[in-house]
Amino acid sequence: MSAYSHRQMQILTKVQDYGSCEIEKLAHIFAVSTQTIRRDVNHLCEKGELRRIRGGVTTPPSQPQPVLAPQSVENAENSELAQQVADHIVNGSALAIIASPLMLEIARALQVKSALHLFTNDLAVALMACQQKDWQVSIAGGAVRQRKQGSFCASNAVTGPSVADFFSRYEVDVTLIQASALSEQGHLLAKNEQQAHIIQTAMKHARKSLLLIEEKHFDPTAYVRCGHLDQIDHVIEKAHPAMAQTTQKPLEQSRLKAQMDGMI
């Protein structure tokens, strides 16, 4: 089981959002007794995630943000999408996680799951997942490429010719993919040949493929085909009012096909 309950993770998020929070307010938010909240926050304080103050709790001063708390405004905005992903994953699943900007937030949302086995080329995801006592983590070998400000490439992504070979050695339940772009014809596009090969290989060796769409991370220079919506079992997207018609059209067609096939 996870070291933290679902409510404890939500408490962390609330305290991070507010900066500090009273025990009585948390009890009201979660519709439980103050005694229950005190037990939860005592556990979180013992782990160093929170600090007690008069009548409530706050985040620890002069310390790195806790692993379970959002690391940026962008991550906080993506928490709903990450929770939707977590809702599709069952305990005991084997997951291939292809490094991308959303994957660390998704890994955090998955912390309520037990006995997961993660195969990934995302160093940040692997380091976080290692804190889960009943998870197994396998990481690809290669060079570590750090993200440049504003780029699509995931922070601490492991790259190199051996990464695709790594994913080819395992049969997993679900592959999680975030394409760099989506063509009007429904093709998933990657930034380069290496990224495309990694995605293609991971999809080939998964029982199901789950595609994440977050258009603010789309890269207009992506042009290498790495798959098609027809190969995707489920699409989870964060809609934007200004989402391009070229993105909307293939997604709508994919939803219609999924409904006809009884997939959703």
Do 117 and 189 lie in one domain? The reply is: yes
Residue 5's pLDDT is: 86
Sequential DSSP letters for 190-259: ESSHHHHHHHHHHHHTEEEEEEEEEGGG--TT--EEEEEGGG-SEEEEE--TT--HHHHHHHHHHHHHHH
Do 14 and 120 lie in one domain? The reply is: no
Residue 134's closest CA among 103, 119, 120, 113?
A: 113
Residue 214's pLDDT is: 79
- Segments forming the whole domain that contains residue 15: 6-58
Among candidate residues 15, 35, 58, the one where a domain is terminated: 58
Do 228 and 253 lie in one domain? The reply is: yes
Residue 68 lies in a domain: no
**Rounded Cα–Cα distance for residues 111 and 131 (Å):** 10
> For the domain that residue 22 is a member of, what is the CATH number?
1.10.10.10
Residue 162's pLDDT is: 93
Do 218 and 89 lie in one domain? The reply is: yes
Do 204 and 151 lie in one domain? The reply is: yes
Q: What are the beta bridge partners of residue 211?
A: 177, 235
Residue 78's pLDDT is: 67
Do 40 and 151 lie in one domain? The reply is: no
pLDDT tens for the chain, residues 1 to 264: 456 888 998 898 888 777 788 999 899 989 999 999 999 999 998 888 898 888 888 887 644 444 444 444 444 456 788 888 998 999 999 999 999 888 988 998 898 899 999 999 999 899 989 888 899 999 998 887 655 444 444 457 888 889 999 999 999 999 999 888 888 888 999 989 999 999 999 999 999 999 988 777 778 788 899 999 889 988 887 754 444 555 555 555 555 344 334 333
Residue 253's pLDDT is: 53
Do 97 and 14 lie in one domain? The reply is: no
Residue 65 lies in a domain: no
Residue 241's pLDDT is: 45
pTM for this entry: 0.64
Residue 147's pLDDT is: 52
48: left (phi over 0), alpha (psi -120 to 50) or beta: left
